[in-house]
Structure 1
Amino acid sequence: MKKLHFIMSMCCVITLFSCNEDDNYETISTDTYPNVTNTFGTNLDLNNLYNYANQNIPSYITKDNSTENTINDKIATLGRVLFYDKNLSSNNTIACASCHKQEFAFSDTSVSSVGVNGSTGRHSMRLINTRFATETRFFWDERALNLEQQTTMPIKDHGEMGYSGLNGDLSFDDLLIKLGAINYYKELFKFSYGTEEISEVKIQKALAQFIRSIQSFDSKYDTGRANAPNDGAPFNNFTAQENQGKNLFLAPPVFNSAGSRTGGGLGCAGCHRAPEFDIDPASKNNGIIGTIAQTGIDVTNTKAPSLRNLMRMDGVLNGPMMHTGGITTLQAAVGHYGTINIAPGNNNLDPRLTPNGIGQQLNLTQAEVNAVIAFLKTLSGTDVYTNMKWSNPFPN
């Protein structure tokens, strides 16, 4: 009886160990998904999935917009393939990763990104820590209600990826048929969702999970914040200049009746909120209302990416900043907020930039500018640029 009881107990353990769909313990034969193996080789090992679902998140990071689409390793793996697959464009030349490149913190160094029928109307924003933000809307003008909706909008855009169904373009349904005929997608959708059926909702869910998994918490700032009681306390790993810059970033300014700063900080954190450095959902435009085409004005841009990983550790920016791509140095970015001019026609300027109805004058000293720049540099890590879980799974 003891022997039988032991055998039954072991069977229960083996069953639990191999059959839980949320775990990756069950060994998958290469014969089960031969087209995945033939296409991706060792770049995609379904027996050893990367950890997307349970990455380490610092305790001081509290914002999380993934609750409606919880990250799953299998589905995020499918999202990785979709993100890098040029088959998602009408002429097989453009992928999501064409405009959001890992080596530039998932942004683009070009002012506008090249699509199948032209260029993007706005600069491609960085996709860092999109999960850790209160603002759920996407694109600079927030026209997508959430990341899931956003993921297929570039695919349906005539200029970007070409499946608009308009102006002679094929439709998104045509893309679904196209993907359904690709053998590795039959296998990956079955692996991820339990069925070969491909739908827009499944594509959106997978892409959003992969994008939300892209996180960066290995910066000098994070090292300091982990050992501090709050954002405002001095960080013991910061230089005096970096701590000064942090204080200036966090503290609100004091203005006189003419809109001129007489004390306090710069108030950056009013819109870019520490420690996630996400954009306040209530933010309006920041005074930059130009367009890449330099025709007319655009006052609808009210969203911004996290300020994390503005630049690499070598000091090189991850592309130009703002929706126009018109600001190319941190000094120019800080300087823009130093003197806000209320341009004719700008009826959507953030009121925090117009104390007493007048464009703010921060009266920055060079030492203050240098300190804020030094602080912004502490928000960059290294892992996001080289981690294989976010890399291109297709062989070169």
Structure 2
Amino acid sequence: MRKLLYIVLSSVLLTSCHKNEDYVAVDPFAAVKSTFGSNLDMNNLANYANQPVPAYITKFNGANNPITDKGATLGRVLFYDKKLSSNNAISCASCHIQAHAFSDTNVASLGVNGSTERHAMRLVNSRFSIESKFFWDERAASLEAQTTMPIRNHGEMGYSGTNGDEDFSALLTKLNAVDYYKELFQYVYGSSEVTEAKIQNALAQFIRSIQSFDSKYDTGRALAGSDNGPFSNFTAQENQGKNLFLTPPVFDATGNRTGGGLGCVGCHGAPEFDINPISGNNGIIGKISGTGIDVTVTRAPTLRDLVKPDGTTNGPMMHTGVITSLQAAIGHYGTINIAPGNTNLDPKLTPNGFGQQLHLNAQEVNAMIAFLKTLSGNNVYTDVKWSNPFPN
């Protein structure tokens, strides 16, 4: 009996050994490696979740969808993938370009069925703001909601379900058949199924990870301990511009500035330089195309990285792209005309019921330009973790 048991056990062990010799491990990222090569290292993910943030930065949004390295990595792929458009030609990155602080040099970005209705907003530091709504008219209640609205737009990415477009469900079917998405969604969510909510969460994590805190301003702010007083690393002109930015103006009864600074901080709060959520229209009410006025525009990106480190612009400014230089941007606020029909003009621009007249001189304009240039960093334009993972 013992001999028989020994023979059976030996047979089982031998069979098991032979099976192990024939066993080939399945690579859970075979399709990812085949598609992206060394551009994505799933065993050594980039640091998205624990990037250093200066202690003086206190405004945050997105607590309900915290950034993870896994989620942001998937978001990066989605952000650059042209498969998210109906003709496989347009991605999020087509309109939000890293080399331009995730904006566009075109006034209106080109979509699958025409042009966008407003200029593409810069995405830098979108997480560091009190305002949690998105789009120029704040029609998206959150960044998560915003991420798939361009995909669902007929002109932009073409899964609108209108005007002959396929519905968004067709995109989900398409992505569910992509091998690298099966692997990535399984890795991030524990399920390979692609859903809109998962797409939204991953894209939002990637976008919120895009940050810029290596500017001349940040060096000065860290050394000074507050925005008050001159920064030791600033020139006299840059310090004058900072003072003008932070100091409220003094107006007479008819809206003419008689003293003080320019008070830009009233809408763009330092040190994040984000838009105040209660801001109204800034006086620019035109449209990129068509006629009529557009008074619903009250959102704005941070003022950080308005220009590149070399001082050249990251494309036109404002929702219409009508402003093409810092000098023109400052000049717009220098003389505010209350246009007929603009029922949403920010009251901070209409002291005593009149459009503000700042009566800027050349020295003040140049100082403001010098200060705004100190808000630009370097890393956001070149960091690989925010770059296109698809091979050229």
TM-score (norm 2): 0.93
Partner of 1:278: 274
Q: Does 1:319 align with 2:321?
A: no
Distance 1:215 1:332 in 2: 26
Q: Which runs of 5+ in 1 are unaligned?
A: 1-28
The structural deviation recorded for 1:137 is: 0.4
Q: Give the Å deviation of 1:257.
A: 0.3
Calculate percent identity across the aligned residue pairs.
72
Structure 2 unaligned residues grouped into runs of 5+: 1-24
Which of 183, 191, 196 is the matching residue for 1:195?
A: 191
Which residue pairs with 1:26 in the alignment? none
**Alignment partner, residue 37 of structure 1:** 33
Rounded Cα–Cα distance in structure 1 between residues aligned with 2:225 and 2:311: 29
Cα deviation, residue 294, structure 1: 4.5
Asked if 2 retains the 8 angstrom alpha-carbon contact of 1:30 and 1:37, the reply is no
What is the SS of the residue equivalent to 2:141? coil
Give the counterpart letter for 1:334 in structure 2.
I
Residue deviations 1:222-242 (CA, integer Å, cap 9, x gap): 000001121122110000000
Partners in 2 of 1:203 and 1:130 — Cα distance?
Answer: 18
Q: Distance in 1 between the 2:162 and 2:206 partners?
A: 29
Structure 1 position 30, deviation (Å):
8.1
Aligned partner of 2:178: which letter? I
Helix, strand or coil at the partner of 2:380: helix
Residue by residue, what CA displacement relative to the aligned partner does 1:161-194 show, whole Å, maximum 9, x if unpaired? 0000111111111100100000000000001111
1:248 aligns with 2:244: yes
Q: SS state of the match for residue 133, structure 1?
A: coil
* Partner residue of 2:234 out of 218, 234, 238: 238
The residue aligned with 2:149 is 153
- Does structure 1 residue 219 correspond to structure 2 residue 215? yes
* Structure 1 residue 198 displacement after superposition: 1.0
- In the alignment, what sits opposite 1:65? 61
2:201 is the alignment partner of 1:205? yes
Counterparts of 2:228 and 2:192, CA distance in 1: 51
Q: How many angstroms apart in 2 are the aligned matches of 1:31 and 1:297?
A: 56
Counterparts of 1:13-52 in structure 2, within 5 Å, are 31-52=27-48
Query: Which of these residues, 352, 358, 364, is aligned with residue 362 of structure 1?
Result: 358
Which of 156, 160, 163 matches 1:164?
Answer: 160
Tell me how far apart the structure 2 counterparts of residues 321 and 294 of structure 1 sit (CA, whole Å). Answer: 19
The 8 Å contact of residues 122 and 291 in structure 1, kept in 2 or not, is answered as yes
Task: Report the secondary structure of 2:218's partner residue.
Answer: helix
| 1:14 match | none
Give the whole-Å Cα distance in 1 for the aligned partners of 2:289 and 2:176.
38
- For 1:102, the aligned partner's letter is Q
For residues 13-45 of structure 1, the C-alpha deviation after alignment (integer angstroms, 9 at most, x for no partner) is xxxxxxxxxxxxxxxx88221000000000000
Count of residues in Structure 1 that have an aligned counterpart in Structure 2: 368
Which is greater in Rg? 2
Q: Distance in 1 between matches of 2:290 and 2:70?
A: 44
Aligned with 1:262: secondary structure?
strand
| 2-structure distance, mates of 1:229, 1:204 | 37
TM-score (norm 1): 0.92
Q: Determine whether 1:328 maps to 2:360.
A: no
* Partner of residue 129, structure 1: 125
Aligned twin of 2:371: 375
CA deviation vs aligned residue, 1:340-362 (integer Å, no higher than 9, x gap): 00001000000000000000000
SS at match of 1:227: helix
* 1:131 aligned counterpart, secondary structure: coil
Give the match's secondary structure for 1:136: coil
Mapped to 1, the partners of 2:158 and 2:172 lie a distance apart of 14
CA-CA distance at 1:66 after TM superposition: 2.1
Which 4+ runs in 1 deviate beyond 2 A? Answer: none
